[in-house]
Every structure is written in structure tokens, then in C-alpha cells.
Structure 1
């Protein structure tokens, strides 16, 4: 069975580095908020050309703590998309704020400047822009300038876009802050959970640093409200430091696979994502098909895994359906019914890629 992602292949590829990093931490006896965390935070900030990186326990905590550091409070309206599987929405709700859902572009699945403007004029006190499937939002620079002019904080959700670029800048450096996930399947993934907030602001960095550890201003002195225990452990930081130098190489391999899919999958029912170059790091290769469910059933019979990222718009989730019963975002709902993710990860062999291409082209729609 061709998997949607194969973590065993990645672990095998980097087994020597993983073992060495784990042994180094164990030998040190320092397992939380030690030198490995500091080293990775400095390296990742340098990679992005950002001033500060503050690691946390996971990507969802990164969103929540970043929003708190940006000043979002209970009952504030926060703009976000509804096609990224509730992660940002969950964080907004945890604060006691209210999501304002923006529609997305039908071709590239991400938010537009026009949608951001509509949300802000509707009362949003903060905006979260998601770089979905590895694509840097095309209008991120314009969105950043607009939010700055309106004095509305902008958070970039970069969980799926480590290393993607626009205008010579990597995502995570356009907004007031950015959140990253290091979940194992991400372009830069640990071997467990992890996340980070990135910012150029020393004030935001200081608030996140306190929020991730009880709100301490000094040990056992709690100064900041809304804090928690959310820390990246030393072993995961050490592993991430080993993986970071290989991120661009992995992204290049993902682009190669995406290019093959785009050029060689010629089935008339399939529509491809078009963005190429450094703006996309091909975290997921998401096609569109009006007969999506039939295609997915067929691929299962020929042992090709696929997935839907994501099938339920946030406002249609059972937990929210009574709050947003009348809301309908046309493009978001259209995409939810048509999208399908094909396997795309750096450790895929050329033969495995060819097998996926042959399987899709062989579908008798």
C-alpha cells in the first residue's frame, strides 16, 4: 500500500543523526528548556531571518499564545479561514474570542486581500492568515501592509509552509507574529509534537516566553494572565536541529514530485494546483475532482492512499453548527467537496511517484 506519508522512511534516513541527538540530551541530564531548545530557537530564527523564535509544545498552542501576545481578548472578533481543519478556530475559542470566517480563492485555496479587508471592516480585531498546503499566500505582503495601516495585528499560520517564500522573504516574517507546527508530518517535523512562535518584536517575544511557562516574570512569580505550561522538550529540539539543515533539500524534492504530478497526471477529470517555484513547498499535493469520492474509492482498490484536507468547513463542525447555522462560504464549501490529497513527501522514490501517476491516469471515471 502506498502511504500518504511514510515516517518510517524518514526515520531510517536520519537514524544516525536521531540517535546521536537523543544520546546527547540523555547524557546531559537536561531535558526541558535547556541548551538544545536555545540552539534550535536561534537556528530557526536565523533560517527565517527573524529576530525571535520561542518554541512551545505544539502548533495549536503557538496560535493561541501568539494571539494572546498580540492582545486578543475574550469577545474579540478574530478573522480566519474555515478550510484549515479548526486549528486556528480552536485557539480563538480557547481565548473566548469569536472567529470571523473569511472565504478563500477557488484556485489556490488561500485568503485574498479583499477577504481580509471585508473581515476588518466587519470588526475583526486581529487577522490570522493561513499559508495552506505549503503555499505562501500570494497577497501576503499587501495583507501585511493593509493590517499595519489599520492597526490590526496579523498572525501568519505557517504550520504547513516552512521555507516558502514571497518577494525574497520567507513566510513567518510578514506579520506581527507567526505560528509554526513541528508535528511529525510537517516539512520540518519532530518525532513528536512541537511548535513555535516567531516574531521580530521583542515585546511579543517576551510575552510568549512568559505565556509558555505559567506567566512567570521570574521563577514562581506569576505576572501574566492566560498562561500555561507549553514547552518543547530538549529531545525534540535536538532532533529538529538535525533536520533543519535538510529542510530546503526536502522542500526541493517535494517540488519535484509536485511537478511530476502536474505534468504527468493527464486525466481529464483532474485539476491541479498551479503555483510553482519557491512560493510553494508542496506540503500537500491537493488536486480537485468533481467525482472526488469515486476517485478516492478507486485509488483504495489499487492500494494508493489519499486523504481529504479538509472535508468539513469550521463553521459546519458539530461544535459550531448552532452558532453559524446561516453562514455559507461558497468557495470554501465547493473545495471541501472536490479536493483530494495525493502522497507527496521527500522520501518517496521515483517508482512510487510513477505508481501514483499511473493509478490516477488509469481511473475509468
Structure 2
């Protein structure tokens, strides 16, 4: 798993008594490096977690093929699709590439509810049945617990109804995000470079790499444009997790080189043309300095 995705997969590992083994990323996309995954995978690997970060898509097919060639095809792959609703690679949609995929429907996602929500996708009947049991106390029938560690984790009907409405517009809204990011890229390129997620990316976030990040953020703020950082600390460097088990922290050259350069500018489909133009103008002015 990568160490640059906000810590969510790391938490899942520790909650399940697993040890996260961090691997490096590709500089241009900030997505997990396929070669780094293959170098770290072994017979004791419980699963490979790939996070489709910022709306880009990891080449899961390449990982699967390489695992098969090295006799490791038994290792399950989990897609973290929290930032990849509707994203595609090679004609296939994110969430359909691995053994299991997880989605968040937090309101800020490309497909978001009015509150918290999420989903797990799989084509494996046994996994699907086990997940259904875990989401309701571990029940195998009403009031009869058949598996341990279950919880109350049902998404309510109101959130489902909201998602049903928003799902119809997901494709159009993703296109709007892509168009906005395209305008930003046209305005930049010299002093900062926007992350490249591939042709099927859905621009969940507009993230750029900038050597002078602090100065850039001040510059944008002075021109009425808020910025953010996704994410400012690698999982392995979080103070609160320093005493927890982890591996691979010595092999994160690109991750460490990127974490202090990342900066996010506004990108969402409800932005007006004037708002997008304001960001583009500020980017162009920064580039011209």
C-alpha cells in the first residue's frame, strides 16, 4: 500500500491486526508504483491495497499479470475507490478491477450523500455474504451471531435515496470536473505541474506539485483562491502512529520528495465560470512571475 493517501487504509490494517507495508509511488500520477508493489509482495502478503488517488486509476491489471508470473496470484487485491467514482482505465471502471473494492459516499466525493455512507463491491459470493454479516453484528439470521467482529454499519435509506438521484448526473459532473482541471493545466506547467491521472481520471481533486508551495499558497490567498494539501503527512510519519507496526518506510523516495510539494486548488462542478476563471488567472500570474 502507498503511504500518501491519508491514512485510511493504514487504519484498516491495524484494526485487523495486519502490518501495513508501504511502497513508493509514481511522481507524475502520485499513484502507487506497480514495480514497488511487486518488489514488496511475498508469500506472507495478506492483501494489496491500491488507492485510486485524486481521481486517477492504478493499473490493477498490470499488478495482477505480474503477480501471476511470479506465482503470487493468490494475493487478493483491494481497490480503494473513495476518490474514483466513475473513473476508468482500459475501458473498465474503477471498482471492477480487483477482488474487492470500497467506496466512500462522503458529501465531498464525486458521488456523495447528504452524510456518511459507503459501499463494498465484489464478484465473490462468499466475500459478499461475509460482508453482509459483518455489517449487522455478525448475524447469520436475526439475533443469531455467526461471525465475530460484526458491527452496526448499515447505510440508511435517506442516504441511499440521495445517492440514487446524484448517480444519474455522475458522468456529467465528472466531465465538468475534467474540463475545469483541463483549464488549470492550460494555465500552468512551468512553476507547478498538475498531477496526471490518465485519460480515464475524473478529477476528484486538482492537485499540483510546486517547489515553492508556501509562497504559492500565500500568492493564491491574496487573489481570493483558497488552497489545501492532500495530504501533508505520510502515514508512516504520523506522530500518533509512531509506535505501531509498519514496514517499508525506508523505500519511499518519491513519496517523501512529493509530500512537501503537493497543493490542491478548488475543483468541483458547481464552480461558476467566473470562479474557474479567477483560479486560472491567478495560476497564470504565478507562472508569469
Scaled to the shorter chain, the TM-score interval is over 0.9
Match of 2:175 among 243, 252, 267: 252
Distance between the aligned counterparts of 1:122 and 1:104, measured in 2? 22
Aligned position for 2:6: 85
Q: What corresponds to 1:73 in structure 2?
A: none
2 CA distance for matches of 1:243 and 1:92?
31
1:355 equivalent to 2:275? Answer no
Match in the other structure for 1:263: 186
SS at match of 2:120: strand
- Count of residues paired in the alignment: 283
On the 8 A contact 2:57/2:198 being kept in 1, the answer is no
**Contact preservation (8 Å) 2:84, 2:201:** yes
Alpha carbons of 1:81 and 1:276: their partners in 2 closer, same or farther (altered >3 Å)?
Answer: closer
- Deviations 1:143-163 (Å, cap 9, x if unpaired)? 133446510011000000011
Per-residue CA distance 1:255-280 (angstroms, 9 max, x = gap): 101111111235x3111223453x20
Distance 1:107 1:212 in 2: 38
In the other structure, the counterpart of 1:110 is: 31
Tell me the distance in 1 between the aligned counterparts of 2:203 and 2:248. Answer: 34
Q: Who is 1:130 aligned against?
A: 51
Provide Cα deviations, 1:302-322, integer angstroms capped at 9, x if missing partner: 221111000100000012224
Q: Which runs of 5+ in 2 are unaligned?
A: none
Question: How far off is 1:325 after superposition?
Answer: 9.9
* Alignment-derived partner of residue 220 in structure 1: 143
- In the other structure, the counterpart of 1:273 is 195
Q: Does 1:319 align with 2:212?
A: no
Higher helix share: 1
Q: Distance in 1 between matches of 2:176 and 2:24?
A: 31
| TM-score between both structures, scaled by the size of structure 1 | 0.74
Cα offsets for 1:74-112 (capped at 9, x unmatched): xxxxxx110001011011111121111111111110112
Question: What is the CA–CA distance in structure 1 between the aligned matches of 2:152 and 2:131, rounded to whole Å?
Answer: 11
CA–CA separation in structure 1 for the residues paired with 2:115 and 2:23 = 31
Matching residue of 1:101 = 22
Instruction: Tell me if structure 1 keeps the 8 A contact 2:4–2:233.
Output: yes
Residues 104-125 of structure 1 show CA distances to partners (whole Å, capped at 9, x for unaligned) of 1111101122111122138322
Cα–Cα, structure 1 residues 85 and 122, in superposed 2: closer, same or farther, change >3 Å? farther
Q: Is the Cα contact below 8 Å between 2:187 and 2:283 reproduced in 1?
A: no
RMSD: 1.7
Q: Is 1:185 aligned to 2:108, yes or no?
A: yes
Q: 5+ unaligned residues in a row in structure 1: which ranges?
A: 1-79
Q: 2:61 aligns with which of 121, 136, 141?
A: 141
Query: Matched residues in 2 for 1:155 and 1:140: separation?
Result: 10
Please say if residues 190 and 239 of structure 1, whose CA atoms lie closer than 8 Å, have aligned partners that are also in contact. Answer: yes
SS in 2 for 1:98: coil
Answer yes or no: is 1:346 the counterpart of 2:269: yes
Q: Which stretch of the first structure deviates more once superposed, 347-356 or 215-224?
A: 347-356
Instruction: Quote the residue 1:71 is aligned against.
Output: none
More displaced stretch, 109-118 vs 236-245: 109-118
- Counterpart CA distance in 2 for 1:200 and 1:119 is 26
State yes or no: 1:302 paired with 2:235: no
